[in-house]
Structure 1
Amino acid sequence: MKYRLIALDVDGTLLNDEHELSERTIETIQEVHDQGCHIVLCTGRAPASTLPILQQLGLEGTMITHNGAATVHADERGQTLVNEFAFTISEIEPMLDYVRREGIHFDVCTSFNMYIERISEYEKQMYQKFLINPKLVTNVSELGLPIVKFTLFSQHELDRVQKEWEEQKLYGHMRMIRSGDLFIDVMSAKANKGNALKALAATLEIDPSEIMAIGNYYNDLEMMAFAGLGIAVENSPEGVKEAADAVTSSNNDEGVREAILKYCL
């Protein structure tokens, strides 16, 4: 088999718009896994909300989570942190001041937990959809924990926020990415799916030419570029499809299954 590792984005790529996995996709992934291919979920999700997807696939193994900021191995013994790109709360205080002042919802994540200062019914539904159970605290600035991701969530404000933060360089030496239409993530400058995949591939002694990566959004570009074959699903923005080596069907039309059948089986 030409590809020894398949890196899969989850939301908008592996899952359909109802956040579901098709049975045929599960069967195809299990088939290629049984032939010796490593399946690695590479997602903006936390480990706790990624693990149920891995289990639904009937697999164990390594997950690249928080958009590359935390790599976690999961097996019957539990979850073990393999690598993280962390930062301190003090490094994002100017941004925390901004979102508090503007009333924009945010959360901060350690590798294994998420913390919020407030929540409405709309945000509660969003977290439930992504299988997330955040911890409510009075002030995240008092956590004193290594943070791997700071996320903004809004239906209408993020284009303005992104523009203002880029003009003001409010994120400083950090990395700001748009991980979805409704999300902005701020992480360590070293944290991205490509760097995490590169580190994992080195551990497994797998050459980039032996890796296929499938994604749907701008936070997938680094892993698609690192892989020997980077594939975008049809529902990706045009910029993502243009950067890809190939395009497969949409997440609602089993695009991941189609790509595995075409290039691996």
Structure 2
Amino acid sequence: MLDIDVIVSDFDGTLLDDRKRLPEQFPALLDELDRRGIRFVAASGRQYYNIREQLPDGMADRVDYIAENGALTVRNGELFSVDELSPEDVRAVVEVTRRTPGCYPILCGAQCAYLEDMVDALRVHSTMYYARLERVDDVLTCLERDRICKIAVFHDHDAEHVSYPALLPFADHMQVALSGDCWVDIMNASVNKGAALRTMLEQMHLSAARCMAFGDYLNDIELLQAAGHPYAMENSHPQLRALFPHTGGHNNDAGVVRTICRELDIAL
């Protein structure tokens, strides 16, 4: 049985199934983790306020958060860090996105997320991932009213081959992360889920060797590298599976919950 202090899990494609549902056993698992003094951390490219909505029945206040792919973190219900993008970088990314057909930028702030267009596909995806979302005439005006920590660029079906190549030149000084079939996330160069996890563990005076982590996509690479016990889901991107051979099971079969129960000898 593993000796664990912290468990951190990505959400979409990892803890949540393909219908965006929590495993039915998760509330009971969280009760048992609380009893053992094991902290659960939700790590996602999603907005913090949106992640909270996925954890009903009082669970939201019992976990910590790595949100916006690590650009914003919350501990014990308090905002812990916001890694703000420079206005110059935000303007440059938005300009390129506006020139790339089929791509739409969402500016992610500490208080809200902002977008200009609301085409059908974007409406479905944006309302799924953002609990606080405001449509504006010009997203750049939001630089004056919020701390922008991430730009999420949406393409309706092929981010890997359309928006990602268009934005890759920014990788010389920024973090450009393919975070799903439709999404590319842009943050400061030092920002990723793994860096956020390391900072969180240091602040809690805990060792990475006693941390389990679960992920399924390329924006989870640094997260899994930062944990002593990394697990890639069976449904992971092939590159992730190649890097991390220990499986976390399938997201549609409550793989995260099953793996935790197996490794920590928990019977639910």
Normalising by structure 1, what TM-score? 0.91
Per the TM alignment, residue 56 of structure 1 is displaced from its structure 2 partner at its CA by 4.7
| Alignment-mate amino acid for residue 254 of structure 2 | E
Aligned to 2:115: 116
Distance in structure 2 (CA, Å) of the matches to 1:55 and 1:40:
15
Q: How does 1:29-68 map to 2 (within 5 A)?
A: 29-56=30-57, 58=59, 59-68=61-70
Structure 2 CA distance for aligned equivalents of residues 220 and 85 of structure 1: 18
Instruction: For 1:121 and 1:133, locate their aligned partners in 2 and report how far apart those are by CA, in whole Å.
Output: 18
Matched residue, 1:86 = 84
Counterpart in the other structure of 1:127: 126
* Pair 1:157–1:254, CA change in 2 (3 A): closer
In structure 1, the partner of 2:247 is 247
Q: Which runs of 5+ in 1 are unaligned?
A: none
Instruction: Note the C-alpha offset of 1:207.
Output: 0.4
CA contact (8 A) 1:89 1:146 kept: no
Deviation (angstroms), 1:152: 0.8
Contact 1:194–1:223 (CA under 8 A) maintained in structure 2: yes
Does structure 1 conserve the Cα–Cα contact (< 8 Å) formed by 2:47 and 2:129?
A: no
The CA deviation at 1:97 is 1.4
Instruction: Report matched runs for 1:220-231 at 5 Å.
Output: 220-231=220-231
CA distance 1:57–1:230, change in 2 (3 Å)? farther
Give the counterpart letter for 2:100 in structure 1: E
Mean Cα displacement is larger for which, 237-246 or 190-199? 237-246
Q: Give the structure 2 partner of residue 238 of structure 1.
A: 238
AA paired with 1:25? F
Kindly state the Cα deviation for residue 141 of structure 1 after the two structures are TM-superposed: 1.6
Q: Cα distance, 1:96 vs. partner? A: 1.1
Alpha-carbon shift at residue 209 of structure 1 (Å) = 0.3
Once residues 190 and 215 of structure 1 are traced to their aligned partners in structure 2, the CA distance between those partners, rounded to angstroms, is 19
Gaps of 5+ in 2: none
| Letter paired with 2:185 | D
* CA distance in 2: counterparts of 1:228 and 1:255, whole angstroms: 19
Partner-residue secondary structure (3-state), 2:235: coil
Give the match for residue 94 of structure 2: 96
State the number of aligned residues.
Answer: 259
| Paired residue type of 2:162 | R
Shift in Å, 1:131: 5.0
Correspondence 1:183 to 2:183:
yes
Q: Is the 8 A contact 1:85 1:190 kept in 2?
A: no
Provide runs of 4+ in structure 1 moved above 4 Å. none
Q: Which one is further off, 189-198 or 138-147?
A: 138-147
Match runs of 1:70-81 below 5 Å: 70-73=72-75, 75=77, 80-81=78-79
Q: Distance in 2 between matches of 1:57 and 1:225?
A: 31
Report the Cα offset of residue 226 of structure 1: 0.9
Corresponding residue SS for 2:162: helix
- Alpha-carbon RMSD across the aligned residues, in angstroms, is 1.8
SS of 1:223's equivalent in the other structure is helix
Letter in 2 for 1:15: L
CA distance in 2, matches of 1:51, 1:61: 9
Residue type of the alignment partner of 1:21: L
